[in-house]
Structure 1
C-alpha cells in the first residue's frame, strides 16, 4: 500500500495516498471556484484536467473570518475552495456504505480541514467517508437580489451529486449514502431532506442538533439589506460583486453585535449567534422542514436525529454570571411557547435557578425541541425516525455541550484531550473511548442497515437512545420540556414588522 493510489473521476484522475491502511484523497474539486460571474451563482461542475491531479492536501477554506481570500472576488488566494475529501479502506468494488459529512459553523464559517472532522476513524470501521467545503456567510446564505437562495446548500447538493457519479470508484455504494452533520450542518440536512433538487442523492440522514431557524424571504431580505447598508450598497448581485468578501464579513460581524437591538423587528432569531439560516423561498426550499416532513416529503429516507443535553452552554455569554428574574422573564416571553397547559417553565421546573431557566429555554428553543419535533414530523409523514440524546460529558463546566457528539462519533476527542482538561470529571478519561465507540457503532449500523439498534420513534413510547457512560434506551428524557412545547409548531420565521 505504499503506491500512491490513483482514481479516475468524471473530471480526471486524482492521486491520493495511503495513511494507516486508509486511502485518503483531499481537495478534490466538485464545482468550479465561485469567483467572478460565478460568485453568487449556483455551483457548476469543475473543469476537466489532464493527467493525474494531486489530491494530497485540503483545499483552501471558503471566504470566512480568519481565512485567506482575494480582494474582490469570492475566491480564495490559492485556488479552488469548493472541494471535497474522501477516506476509503478499500478502493476495490467493495460497495461500502458511504457517509457524507456536512460541518456546522453557524452558517458563517467552517472548513473540512478542521482536524476534529477527520474521517479516518470512520473509514477504518468500514465505510467510505466524504467531507466538503461549502459557501458560508453572505456568500452562501444571504438573500441577494439576482442570485439563487441557499447557495451553500446548493453547493452541498452538488457535492452529493459528485458522490453519486464518482464514489463507486473509491469503493462506495452510491445507492447507500448517508448524509450526516451537526448544528448548521444538521440544519442544512433538514433542508436537503425536503428539497426537490436533492431527491435521490442520499438514502439516509443523521441530523445532530438541528437549529430551529429557517427564514422567510422577507426576513432574509431585511437582514441582507442591513448588512449591505453597512457598506453603503444594496443587497444585489451587481452591487455586492464590487465588495470584497472581507468587507462583507466585517459588515456581518458589525450587524451580529447589533442583532439584540433588532429583536422587535427580526424576532427571536436576533437572539441567536448568527444572522443566517436556510431561506424558505418556495423554490429551492419550498417549506420549513417540519411542515414538509409532516407532509411526507422524506418518508422514503431513514432519519436519525437528536441533540446533546446542555446545548446552549457553549453559546451562553452569561455563563458564570448572575441572571436576574427580569432577564429570565424577558427570555421566556421572547422564546417560550406563548401558552401551554403545563403552566410554563417556572411551573414545570420549580427547582431551577434563573441561570438554569435561561439556559433551558435557549437550549429547547434553538436545538432540543426542533430536533425532537423533526422526528415527530417524520413519523407523522409516514417515515421512520430514531432519536438520541447525549448526556455524557467530560468537562464539568460545559456539560454535554453542543458539538461534543461530533467529536465522539468522528473519534477526534482523545483520552489525552480529556485527561489534561482542567475541568475533566473524575472518570471521564476512562469512559471517553467507550462512549465514543457506542455512538460511532450506532451511527455505522444506521448507515449500513438503516437501523441504529433501538426502536424507532413513535409518539406513544418516544424510544430514545441516551448516551451516558453506558448507553441506555428509554422514553425521551426531557419530558418536562417536551410537554411545554408539545403544541408548538416550528415553522418559517418571518419579519415581525418593517424597520
Structure 2
C-alpha cells in the first residue's frame, strides 16, 4: 500500500515549488510547516534494497500536512506516546520543514536533524523531534527526514549496496541543497546535527566521498564507536537471513514483506550474546546493525579519515553525556543486579588494551561493580569515540568545539544521572514525548531544565549561524570543554582519568573473529 496520490487542495497555507512539484504546508504559531515531502522514491518493489532514487515529479499541489510513514522497524518503544501516530504506507523516504517564512529571499541558516535509534529504530515524525522551538529560537530553517533502518537500511546483503541508510541521508541532503532556498533557507549554511546513531551517521558522512560538500557544519551528540567490518557485517546478515529461512541476498529477502522481515533482526538482537566468540564486542550490543566499512560507500572509519583532513573544512561541535550507559543499566533492572563477575566481564570485554580490567580498577580504586560496569561501557561506546572525533578533526587541520552534559535527569528518582538521550528533550523542548516521558517521569519540568534547554538551543543555533557556540574551540593542551549543568562553565575536559586510560587507543571497524 502506498500513500495517497497528490491532489489539489484548498488554499489553506503557504505553497512552495520544489524540483519535483509544488507542496502546500500550513502556518502554525509563526512558522510555515511542511510535512511528508518525498525526497526519494519509495524503496519497494524493484527499488527494494537499492540506492535511493529521486522522487518522481507530480502535477498540481501536493498537501504537506502529515508526516510520512516510518520505515519498517522493530516494535520496541512503540508503547511511548506518539510512536504509532503516523500513517502507514511505503513512502518512507520523506522529509519535513519548519521555517519562519517560506520566502526565497530570506536565506536563513538551515539545521538538518538525523535521528538515532541503534540504526534499527527511528521516525522523523516522532513527537520528541518537533522542531518548532529550535526554528523559533534561532530564526532558522529546520529539516528532519526518514532514512531506512535495520535490515532495509544496514544489513550487508548480496545484490545491494552497503549502508543504504547512509545513502538515504545523502539523498536527503542533496534534496536540501537543491530545494531549501524556496523554503527560506541558505544552501550554503547547512548544519547537520544528530544524536546516538544519528551522530554516528554524521561521523560516517564526514568520511564519505558522496557526502562531501553537502553541509558546512556538523553537530554530533554521543557518537557511538561501533562500525562493522565488511566481513563481520556479512556474517551477521547471514544469521539474520537464516532466521527467516532465506539466503542473505536482496532477491531472496525481497520476497518477504518489509514489515514482517523486521522480526528476523529483532530475534537476532535477543540472542547476540551467543555469538561473542565470533563477533567479539559487537555481540553484547543492543543491535546487529551499524555502518559498514565496505571500502566503497564508506572507505574507512571516521577517525582516521578526519585525522587525514577529510573534513577539515567542516566546523564541528561534538559532545557526550557524563553517564551515558546509566539509561541502559536502569532499564535492564538497575545497578543492584551488577555483581563482581559481571563487572569483570565488562572490563575485560570493553576496556582498553590487553589488561583493561586492571587499568580501570587501578584508575577507579573506590568504584564498586555497578560503577565500573557502567563506566567502561559509557567510555567505550560513547564518550571516548566522541572526544576522539574532536581530536581527530583538530589533528586534521579542522576546528572542533566540545561539550559534556552533566545535569542529571530527574526521572526514576534521580537514578538516571546525565544519561544517554537526555540531550534530546532539552534541545527540542519536548519534555513529555518519547524519551522525555521516561527521563522526566512524574517530576514536571524543573526550572533548571528549562534554562538548560534554552542554553542548548541558543548554543546550537548560534553554531549553525556562525560556527561559534559560545565557548572556545578545543585544543589538545588546555582541552576547553563546555560543561552543561545548573551552572554551565567552560573547564578542562572533565573526564581526564578516562581520557588518559584510552589515550592512543583507536576505534577500528569491529572484526569477524573466526
The interval holding the TM-score normalised by the smaller chain is over 0.9
1:323 alignment partner in structure 2:
338
Shift in CA distance, 270/420, structure 1 to aligned 2, threshold 3 Å: closer
1:265 alignment partner in structure 2:
278
Instruction: Answer yes or no: is 1:476 the counterpart of 2:493.
Output: yes
Please state whether the residue corresponding to 1:131 is helix, strand or coil.
Answer: strand
Q: CA deviation at 1:312?
A: 0.7
Q: CA deviation at 1:394?
A: 3.1
2:3 alignment partner in structure 1:
none
Match of 1:220 among 230, 233, 242: 233
Q: CA deviation at 1:233?
A: 1.2
TM-score normalised by L of structure 1: 0.94
Instruction: Answer yes or no: is 1:454 the counterpart of 2:471.
Output: yes
Give unpaired runs (5+ residues) of structure 1. 69-75
Contact 1:112 1:132 in 2 (8 A): yes
* Matches for 1:168-179 after TM superposition, within 5 Å: 168-179=181-192
Partner Cα separation in structure 1 for residue 396 and residue 24 of structure 2 = 44
1:72 alignment partner in structure 2:
none
Q: Deviations over 1:89-147 (max 9, x none)?
A: 02221110000000001100110111010111111121100000110000000001010
TM-score normalised by L of structure 2: 0.91
* Matches for 1:17-416 after TM superposition, within 5 Å: 17-66=26-75, 77-92=88-103, 93-125=105-137, 126-316=139-329, 317-339=332-354, 344-395=359-410, 396-413=414-431
Q: CA deviation at 1:246?
A: 3.2
Q: CA deviation at 1:321?
A: 2.7
Q: CA deviation at 1:313?
A: 1.4
Partner Cα separation in structure 2 for residue 342 and residue 251 of structure 1 = 35
Partner Cα separation in structure 1 for residue 60 and residue 428 of structure 2 = 33
Partner Cα separation in structure 1 for residue 239 and residue 260 of structure 2 = 14
2:4 alignment partner in structure 1:
none
Partner Cα separation in structure 2 for residue 248 and residue 478 of structure 1 = 42
Please state whether the residue corresponding to 2:336 is helix, strand or coil.
Answer: coil
Partner Cα separation in structure 1 for residue 264 and residue 359 of structure 2 = 38
Give unpaired runs (5+ residues) of structure 2. 1-10, 79-86
Shift in CA distance, 146/339, structure 1 to aligned 2, threshold 3 Å: same
Contact 2:348 2:355 in 1 (8 A): no
Shift in CA distance, 265/339, structure 1 to aligned 2, threshold 3 Å: closer
Partner Cα separation in structure 2 for residue 422 and residue 286 of structure 1 = 43
Contact 1:438 1:471 in 2 (8 A): no
Partner Cα separation in structure 1 for residue 379 and residue 316 of structure 2 = 20
Partner Cα separation in structure 1 for residue 257 and residue 20 of structure 2 = 30
Shift in CA distance, 261/220, structure 1 to aligned 2, threshold 3 Å: same
Q: CA deviation at 1:56?
A: 0.2
Shift in CA distance, 230/335, structure 1 to aligned 2, threshold 3 Å: same
Please state whether the residue corresponding to 2:22 is helix, strand or coil.
Answer: strand
1:71 alignment partner in structure 2:
none
2:6 alignment partner in structure 1:
none
Partner Cα separation in structure 2 for residue 226 and residue 12 of structure 1 = 43
Q: CA deviation at 1:241?
A: 1.0
Partner Cα separation in structure 1 for residue 285 and residue 193 of structure 2 = 23
Contact 1:211 1:371 in 2 (8 A): yes
Partner Cα separation in structure 1 for residue 266 and residue 15 of structure 2 = 43
Contact 1:106 1:276 in 2 (8 A): yes
Partner Cα separation in structure 2 for residue 421 and residue 59 of structure 1 = 28
1:463 alignment partner in structure 2:
480
2:512 alignment partner in structure 1:
495
Partner Cα separation in structure 2 for residue 61 and residue 246 of structure 1 = 11
Q: CA deviation at 1:53?
A: 0.3
Q: Deviations over 1:311-365 (max 9, x none)?
A: 0112222524332212211111111012589951111111111001000001111
1:73 alignment partner in structure 2:
none
Shift in CA distance, 3/213, structure 1 to aligned 2, threshold 3 Å: same
Partner Cα separation in structure 2 for residue 414 and residue 444 of structure 1 = 22
Contact 2:409 2:422 in 1 (8 A): no
Q: CA deviation at 1:213?
A: 0.4
Partner Cα separation in structure 2 for residue 494 and residue 367 of structure 1 = 19
Partner Cα separation in structure 2 for residue 257 and residue 341 of structure 1 = 27
Please state whether the residue corresponding to 2:397 is helix, strand or coil.
Answer: coil
Count of equivalent residues: 486
Please state whether the residue corresponding to 1:311 is helix, strand or coil.
Answer: coil
Partner Cα separation in structure 1 for residue 221 and residue 399 of structure 2 = 16
